[in-house]
Structure 1
Amino acid sequence: MTPRRPARLVVLVSGSGTNLQALLDACADPSYGARVVAVGADRDDIEGLARAERAGVPTFVRKVGQFTSRDHWDRAVTDTVAGFEPDLVVLAGFMKLVGAEFLTRFGGRVVNTHPALSPSFPGMRGPADALAYGVKVTGCTLFVVDAGVDTGPIVAQRAVPVEDDDTADTLHERIKVAERAMLVDTVGRMARAGWTVEGRRTRFGDEG
């Protein structure tokens, strides 16, 4: 799929929004090829929303507890995001799993990051699990979201060496630095070149 330019990004956050800020900074350059048209969250009063507001980007909040079921919440988030006509939805530290309706509406156009080299160490404890296993190299993955947990087709990966004196926290901090750079570089390429998802393979429009 090749989005019109600049590509319209909707970013969903749950916390401090450092990945969001990296995208906002990149989008300030017209040559990047994308702009953030909305930022959504599942919580009030978080720095991610404040970052969007300072940048003049519309925001919305949809809390799970406001709805009678998780399906109703998913439908509300889906309808709200759809209203901004995104070319790409970026889950940037968004701590809720999107549901079937969301994935049906935006299939192949939702990406998320994971702090490990998928398919290794899925779930919330990627850096700690990598450290406990004793690997010498871990990293981060950008993937197209599917119905599983960190199981979607891989778009990009970056390697991060594990140092002998690493703790889970120090390792995770270095992974986050690589993750932000990977996210900005790859989303920009998706915006400028387009992309297709064929089974487990993701291809960019600028690949021969």
Structure 2
Amino acid sequence: MSLRIYGNRLLKTLPGQATRPTPARVREAVFNIWQGTIVGCRWLDLCSGSGAMAAEALCRGASSVVGIEQSSRACTVIRQNWQQVAKPDQTFQLLQGDVVQRLLTLKGQQFDRIYFDPPYDGNLYEPVLQAIDQHDLLAPAGELAAEHNPSRAMPEAIGTLVRDRQKVYGNTAVSFYRSQA
């Protein structure tokens, strides 16, 4: 299976819905919301899946991308996708493993844009948001977007992270958080 991103670039995905790529309509909406903030940004992609969101960030000028994905099969596809789109002056790093544990290894780094797309029925939302807050991973002017099922009640705040807004696109919702530190 494959999908297209910014610039009509074709990316690989794993067969089936194991990685559930973010729908094109949602990707476009998120990048429209974040328009003007991607060039030069530091992007963190959590539960990367196919790596499409970070690949799109690279295509739109992000200076660096870090991704975390648990599946080794997905990591192989993500690396191929990012190598295909990254320019020589852009860096990317992919960490395999449990997202909450791997976030600890990023302590001391900050990211301008964080995209978090876990399995909708999983219990990762609160632990990941807490870890991002505890490890101070969101830059002061940064923003985090968490993709989820529209029926899921997302927290208004976790630590210094405060939900700024929520957008719904059919069967997908995205909650945006900023740091109030």
TM-score between the two structures when normalised by the length of structure 2: 0.48
More strand by share: 2
Q: Which has the higher contact order (CA 8 A, sep 6+)?
A: 1
More helix by share: 1
Q: Which structure's CA Rg is the greater one?
A: 1
TM-score between the two structures when normalised by the length of structure 1: 0.43
